[in-house]
């Protein structure tokens, strides 16, 4: 299982939000590219980037910062990126710039045809991000709840050809109160494609619990606040995941 450091970008800085609230941010660095380099040096095998301003605006807002991060990583490990990606031109531009996987979230829910087109045009490079609370999907930076059932949508998007599903429990993200393992397992069991867990990872106990259910199809977990605030040591977390998992050290999870 991969432990995937998150770098959330707002106004050019690396931040973390509480439950996706743009007004509840903690700034961790004014230099996101340096943060990326640090996690690479710590042994990260994939990075998770989010253009938070882009997610709200519906179009890229921190593209130059993202390109700086790509430059700092220089192809060493895959990078997955989400936030404000709403058209095929943007997908192509980011992939050409060196991003490995594009994460489509709100646009997948509001415009499924776009997701289907992206999967067809860029096979192997599209991940869908489903953010949910109590089994229902949220969109637009978690500001709006929909009536869509997360499992039903995930099955539909799997048929489109997505490479993986990132499942975030928005009630837990940024709160350091544990991953919703039960809901993540429930989703993973319904899918063939890998599920990447997100939201609430707090400490090594969470990593251990996730590794126990890795065989269900949960192949990675995204971590943010825990590794920035020090409730979890990244190196120890990945070492534990390697020991308890299948012992594989793939570059990707999908």
SS3 145: strand
Rounded to 5 degrees, φ, ψ at 219 are -105, 0
Cβ atoms of residues 77 and 249 within 8 Å: no
CA 159 from chain center: how many Å? 20
Q: Which tokens in the block code for residue 165?
A: 């599903």
CA atoms lying within 13 Å on the CB side of residue 9: 27
Q: What CA–CA distance (Å, rounded) separates 171 from 84?
A: 22
Question: Which position among 23, 31, 68, 131 bears the catalytic label?
Answer: 131
Q: Is residue 131 among the annotated active site residues?
A: yes
User: Which residue is listed with tokens 């903690």?
Assistant: 26
Q: What CA–CA distance (Å, rounded) separates 53 from 107?
A: 15
Alpha-carbon Rg for the chain in angstroms: 16
Q: Is residue 117 among the annotated active site residues?
A: no
User: Which residue is listed with tokens 């993540």?
Assistant: 184
Question: Which position among 8, 53, 169, 242 bears the catalytic label?
Answer: 8
- Catalytic residue ranges: 8, 131
């Amino acid at each position: 299982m991969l432990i995937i450091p998150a770098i959330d970008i707002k106004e050019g800085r690396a931040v973390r939000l509480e439950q996706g609230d743009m007004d509840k941010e903690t700034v961790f660095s004014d230099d996101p590219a340096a943060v990326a380099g640090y996690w690479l040096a710590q042994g990260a095998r994939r990075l998770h980037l989010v253009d938070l301003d882009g997610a709200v605006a519906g179009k890229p807002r921190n593209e130059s910062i993202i390109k700086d991060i790509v430059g700092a990583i220089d192809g060493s490990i895959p990078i997955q990126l989400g936030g404000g990606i709403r058209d095929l031109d943007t997908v192509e531009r980011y992939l050409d710039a060196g991003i490995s996987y594009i994460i489509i979230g709100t646009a997948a829910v509001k415009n499924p045809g776009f997701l289907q087109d992206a999967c067809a045009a860029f096979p192997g490079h599209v991940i869908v991000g489903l953010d949910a609370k109590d089994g229902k999907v949220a969109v637009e930076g978690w500001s709006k709840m929909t009536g869509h059932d997360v499992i039903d949508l995930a099955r539909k998007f799997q048929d489109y050809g997505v490479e993986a599903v990132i499942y975030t429990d928005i009630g837990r993200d940024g709160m350091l109160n544990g991953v919703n393992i039960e809901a993540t397992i429930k989703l993973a069991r319904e899918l063939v494609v890998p599920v990447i867990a997100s939201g609430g990872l707090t400490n090594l106990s969470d990593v251990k619990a996730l590794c126990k259910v890795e065989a269900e199809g949960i192949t990675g977990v995204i971590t943010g606040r825990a590794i920035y605030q020090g409730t979890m040591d990244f190196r120890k977390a990945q070492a534990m995941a390697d020991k308890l998992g299948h012992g594989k050290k793939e570059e990707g999870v999908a």
